Amino acid sequence: MTDTMIEFKNVTMSFGDKTILEDLSFSVYKGETLAVIGPSGTGKSTVLRLIIGLLTPVQGKVLIKGQDVSTFKEDEWNQLRQDMGMVFQYSALFDFLTVGENVAFGLRQHTEKTNDEIKAIVAARLAEVGLPHLENSWPAELSGGMKKRVGLARATALQPEIMLYDEPTAGLDPIMSENINDLIKETKKRMRVTSILVTHDMNSVLAVADRVLLLYDKKIAAIGTLEEIKNNTHPILQKFLKTQTNLSNEERGKVEK
């Protein structure tokens, strides 16, 4: 039986009298990458905020590793968040910390590792994202793509079980976007993480996702594998698929076979 890492059970989320998500139910399975797509304002980032505990559903339950997190206290959330890594749309690096200090931040906050152990982990994570020996640089000195890679190194420093990506390729050129996609795939393979990718970038979806969930008009309009999504006739989904450009033969084969 497939292990469920994240489950939404009849989740409704509202802000005042405006309902963003209505009666959402879906599961994310251990080791898979689920891409969440949809037009702007349909609640994609709200899904991430519910998972990481920045929001609590108005109705329904969010279960993470079998635990109903809707009643969690802050100390319980802090413990659970150590099993999660998040890559933010705009990197969200601390400008007043060096690159190395940014990557080490969670390790210093949540572990009792020695300075030498932390330095070794930071060096390893930066090397994994193709930025070795950059510990003493400052975020202001980095390009957008480099900041995204540092964000990924920081997110994986604690070796989380769950990775959350909020528009990781936004604002990047096609070559750097492909590099980020490759890093997402490598992270999944190396760390066997369960991932949720929120994005408008269909090239990224087709490159990294195992399944796709389309949010539209507060609800799940479609969910399925890449092949199932390709064959789904929902008009919004078809518009998203038409945005794909410059696919490699391998990526194209995923949705055309």
Q: What's the pLDDT at 244?
A: 65
Q: What's the pLDDT at 205?
A: 94
CA 227 from centre of chain: 22
Q: What's the pLDDT at 58?
A: 93
Looking at 37-41, 45-49, 131-135, which range is the least confident one? 37-41
SS3 track for the chain: CCCEEEEEEEEEEEECCEEEEEEEEEEEECCCEEEEECCCCCCHHHHHHHHHCCCCCCEEEEEECCEEHHHCCHHHHHHHHCCEEEECCCCCCCCCCCHHHHHHHHHHHHCCCCHHHHHHHHHHHHHHCCCCCCCCCCHHHCCHHHHHHHHHHHHCCCCCCEEEEECCCCCCCHHHHHHHHHHHHHHHHHHCCEEEEECCCHHHHHHHCCEEEEEECCEEEEEEEHHHHHCCCCHHHHHHHCCCCCCCHHHHHHHHC
Q: What's the pLDDT at 2?
A: 60
Please check the confidence at residue 255 and state whether its pLDDT lies above 50: no
Q: What is the mean pLDDT of residues 142-155?
A: 92
Q: What's the pLDDT at 90?
A: 74
Quickly state the pLDDT bin for 232 (edges 50, 70, 90).
confident
Round to whole Å and give the CA distance between 124 and 135. Answer: 11
Please check the confidence at residue 121 and state whether its pLDDT lies above 80: yes
Q: Hey, what are 189's tokens? A: 């393979």
Q: What's the pLDDT at 136?
A: 95
Looking at 17-31, 87-101, 149-163, 202-216, which range is the least confident one? 87-101
- The residue whose two tokens read 């519910």 is 50
Please check the confidence at residue 155 and state whether its pLDDT lies above 60: yes
| Higher pLDDT, residue 26 or 171 | 26
Please check the confidence at residue 99 and state whether its pLDDT lies above 90: yes
Total residue count of the chain as it appears in this document: 257
Q: Has this prediction a pTM greater than 0.85?
A: yes
Q: What's the pLDDT at 245?
A: 52
